[in-house]
Amino acid sequence: MNLARFFQLEGKKVIITGASKGIGKEIALQLAGLGADLALTARDERELDAVKKQIETYGGNAEIFPFDLMNTEKIPDLVKSIHQEFGQIDVLINNAGINITKPAAEINEVDWDKVIDLNMKSAFFISQAVGKYMIAQKQGKIINMSSQMALVGYYNRAPYCSSKGGVSQMTKALAIEWASHQVNVNAIAPTFIETPMTAPMFEDEEFRKEVLSRIPLGRLAKTEDLMGAILYLASDSSNMVTGQTLAVDGGWTVW
């Protein structure tokens, strides 16, 4: 048996949201290196174009689709454009997200709506739009970026925990509805990830120590720590897996 074929992404058509920076950008670079054809979407066209050029420098293939996912009524048009460009959609990675860190007593309605709308509402409606194509072609993989905060509570993150808990439950609901069409819907739940964007947060030594005290493996995650889970859930190796939230959290949620 050729096990390598189970992890093959060569020629797969993959949409990545929030692909202009951070985790989304790193996912794009890694999947391009594995031969996937990428549709990259985020709000900033200039940053998206820089990612596309970096991918092409290494011989990869990517097209950019600048878009604000808060504009939910236009999501079907976005997905239609991507499908017309690539001919099919094999994988959707719902990576776009936001966090507003405030004590629960200080959260206002604007804060709440901004987090819920981007993290959960937009993920649902792009999954819905992509799901229609996947159902028609009788195959597809949807990967939602959840969080360990879907599984535990934490300080100053009431909207974020709520949104990511909703993402994990949405994952189960879509998995049940679309299983008969061979559309797999799963989620990844990372712990705190060390990136240039999160670096200022961890300059607070007390906060860093508190976070590390909750991770049995004793370190923050790096972006590359997510790649095995993404490859697994995007490839044929996970064809019998659906409705799951895979924690990549160094053991945080084991406690």
CA distance 48 to 152: 33
- Tell me the pLDDT tens digit for each residue of 102-142: 999 999 999 999 999 999 999 999 999 999 999 999 999 99
Catalytic residues: 160
Q: Please report whether residue 82 resides in a domain.
A: yes
- Residue 2 — pLDDT band, cuts 50, 70, 90? low
When the pLDDT of each residue in the chain is averaged and rounded to a whole number, the result is 96
pLDDT of residue 211: 97
Q: Which domain holds residue 58?
A: 3-250
**Which of these, 245, 121, 104, 229, lies nearest to 161 by C-alpha position?**
104
CATH code for position 154: 3.40.50.720
- Tell me the pLDDT tens digit for each residue of 33-80: 999 999 999 999 999 999 999 999 999 999 999 999 999 999 999 999
CA distance 84 to 39: 11
Mean pLDDT of 191-213: 93
Q: Please report whether residue 255 resides in a domain.
A: no
Domain count, the chain: 1
- In angstroms, what CA-CA distances link 171 with 72, 111, 128, 143, 183? 19, 24, 12, 9, 12
Mean pLDDT of 18-35: 96
Q: Please report whether residue 49 resides in a domain.
A: yes
In DSSP notation, 41-97 reads E-S-HHHHHHHHHHHHHTT-EEEE----TT-GGGHHHHHHHHHHHHS---EEEE---
For 173-189, b/e burial (b = at least 16 CB within 10 A) is ebbeebeeeebbbbbbb
